[in-house]
Amino acid sequence: MKRAPIYSRTARKQRSRGEPLSAPESRPQAAPSPAPTAPRPKRFVRSRAFLTRHERLLLMTVPVLLCVLLFLAYSSLAPIERRFTQRDIDAAVLHTLENNMLPSQEAKAYARIRPSVVRVVQEGEQGGAQKGLRGVGTGVVIIDKGVILTNLHVIGTDDKTRIKVHFANGHESDAIVLRRQPENDLAVIQAVSIPDDLVPATLRSTQGLAVGDKVVAVGYPFNIGPSASAGIVSGLKRTYVSPRDNEILRNLIQFDAAANPGNSGGPLITMSGEVVGIVTAILSPHEQGSFVGIGFAVPIEIAAAAAGDSPF
């Protein structure tokens, strides 16, 4: 009897032909289960919850903190401002004084009054045979229209006398007499023509003026000038008797700044350059009338009133 073949022919035929055998059916495998994740720490959960709850507040606070940090960083890098002490200031002032020659009070006072001071020249009679220089004095401009204060004895009492004034910038002009006040030896004159840059003087009341205050007399002594001489107020409310005509002048300012013939009619000024008086006389035992240390000035209140335009 033939034995039944263990393998089928068909399989043998396919194998003989070189065809691959079909793989046996594999059993379906179950998908691998994911690895268990570690539980998150409770601190991280709390932080995240805190950030979620306060998100808006943090968005507002963080920029402010950044600005504060930037400001602190800038402040730490910025140069430290040095605060000057009184010792530093004193040292700087002392250094300036030692290395720079500053103008004196007298020099500054003179510079301020200089544009207002004029030389007053009394010449011979107008249209007459007597011509030439008869006298020189000083005047001070008190109104910018060319109104000038001076002494009566500088211009004389004769209306026929010709008067000329010389301004600080060199301008020359004839002048006419507006008013005379013999009791105070004062005269007010008006320049016929004036310079464009004419500067009137600043007047200051003598109220508050004290003995010992510094003053400067400005004028043309002996036709030399303009000249300045410094001194102090030696007395107030003095009386002076003129040796020319025994005229008594009262309520005068006494000063010791050098004054000589030609200073008459000039301003007596303070250290701020303000006019407190009009130089009118000197007390001298010599016939030449040279200065011995006592001069007199009419207070500016009286002089300005003579001009009819007193600010006091």
Give catalytic residues, as residue numbers. 153, 185, 264
Place of tokens 């026929």: 160
The pair of three-digit structure tokens given for residue 291, joined into one six-digit string: 């200065």
Q: Which amino acid is at 14?
A: Q
3-class state of residue 88 by DSSP: helix
The Cα 219–Cα 215 span in angstroms is: 13
CA distances from 84 to 80, 88, 94, 96, 276 (A): 13, 6, 15, 17, 41
Per DSSP (E only), the strands in 207-289 are 214-219, 227-241, 248-255, 267-269, 275-282
**What is the secondary structure of 155-173 as a DSSP string?**
H-S-TTEEEEEE-TTS-EE
CA distance 216 to 237: 19
Instruction: Report the alpha-carbon distance of residue 169 to residue 114 in Å, rounded.
Output: 10
For residue 231, the 8-state DSSP code is E
